[in-house]
Structure 1
């Protein structure tokens, strides 16, 4: 069970759910994803989600291919629950999703009259996503060393004091895996990792490969 009182139980996850295809963006279980919503069909999607389960599936487009309802999508995404919602004066919604559980797309329905996409998700393979136990233990000294080099290569500034304030290793790894500018396929691999410990190991490997590739490039 989730530690958050408003999160649904596994048995109450929806049988149908809108999806929001986003290239290069993944939501992970227990992660938080801020979104700026401005396209009419996605404003309608948020309206309908707020009237229902408050759940939206975040999923990546697949390889530039086209399907019946738009871009082809990967089979696996992650459902997020709307936890924050703000209206802007220029007609946008600013929302935040908390990752609840991954899903496989079993079926995509015809596009809704309101313009967004709707799927039938399979939750069963990912029931453990809603377990409140923690399985991640990381070498923070090694992690911080790799992160410093990686973010320097990417010309990204990181709030190091904030990073050090995060005591929970799983929360830290989830946040970093979501914000690091990996490729779409690398982000998908992180999403599809069997468990959070496997995801943490893969994340460290991706950092190491990025740093090593840059170092080898400098030596020639």
Structure 2
């Protein structure tokens, strides 16, 4: 068995944090990002100088009547860190990057400093299982899962490569769909916080079935 890239002891106590509503990263999954704001360009530049190249993705907590883009926001306590594994610079100065999910974390104190972006102390100890090579879902019924998924995709007018879905490993399938499906940020957070792959799959099915029931006679999912 190949050695994991990181052990718990390898992970830093403080990382840059990127608050982004609706952006879900999970261990061993990939998240593409378009980096263009000056503060996040600075974050990326600093991150690439570190040996771990980790960025923490965390979702803001919705605040009724809150101003979008406000500098002071409440953040969910659980996020997921990803390692920058691909980077492409565009002609207009943006960066297209890919984060490969490493491990979830619990937010600690935010660090005050000279950087224009957020840095925070993080605690990885509750999520050491994320560092394994793969997570299993012993109760996974692919046929039943794909039947719900097909109805959800049809109602949401989404397309997919069904041959690939039929062959994908359960972890890759469940985590990729959790990232890609058009759920609300709080629903994405529930998928992130699911303690096991089995729980995440059950949550994913529940969200799809709820969306189907809420779609009305035309089956439209917003």
TM-score by length of 1: 0.89
Does structure 1 residue 107 correspond to structure 2 residue 109? yes
Q: CA RMSD in A?
A: 2.1
What is the 5 A alignment of 1:37-186?
37-52=35-50, 53-64=52-63, 69-110=71-112, 112-137=113-138, 138-166=140-168, 168-186=169-187
The answer for the alignment partner of 2:26 in structure 1 is 28
Structure 1 residues 129-138 or 83-92, which shifts more?
129-138
Q: 1:9 to 1:184 in 2, by over 3 A?
A: same
Q: Distance in 2 between matches of 1:24 and 1:95?
A: 17
Q: Is the 8 A contact 1:69 1:117 kept in 2?
A: no
Q: Distance in 2 between matches of 1:60 and 1:115?
A: 18
Q: 1:4 to 1:159 in 2, by over 3 A?
A: farther
Q: Is the 8 A contact 2:6 2:131 kept in 1?
A: no
Q: CA deviation at 1:69?
A: 4.9
Q: CA deviation at 1:109?
A: 1.2
Q: Distance in 1 between matches of 2:161 and 2:3?
A: 26
Q: Deviations over 1:12-71 (max 9, x none)?
A: 1011100111101110111100111011110110111110120000000101358x9522
Q: Is the 8 A contact 1:27 1:58 kept in 2?
A: yes
Q: Is the 8 A contact 1:146 1:211 kept in 2?
A: no
TM-score by length of 2: 0.88
Q: Distance in 2 between matches of 1:58 and 1:117?
A: 11
Higher percent of residues as strand: 1
Q: Deviations over 1:138-184 (max 9, x none)?
A: 22212222112111222222222332342x10111000011111111
The answer for the alignment partner of 2:195 in structure 1 is 194
Q: Distance in 1 between matches of 2:3 and 2:34?
A: 24
Q: CA deviation at 1:210?
A: 1.6
Q: Distance in 2 between matches of 1:14 and 1:133?
A: 22
Q: Distance in 1 between matches of 2:127 and 2:134?
A: 14
Query: Structure 2 regions of 5+ residues with no counterpart?
Result: none
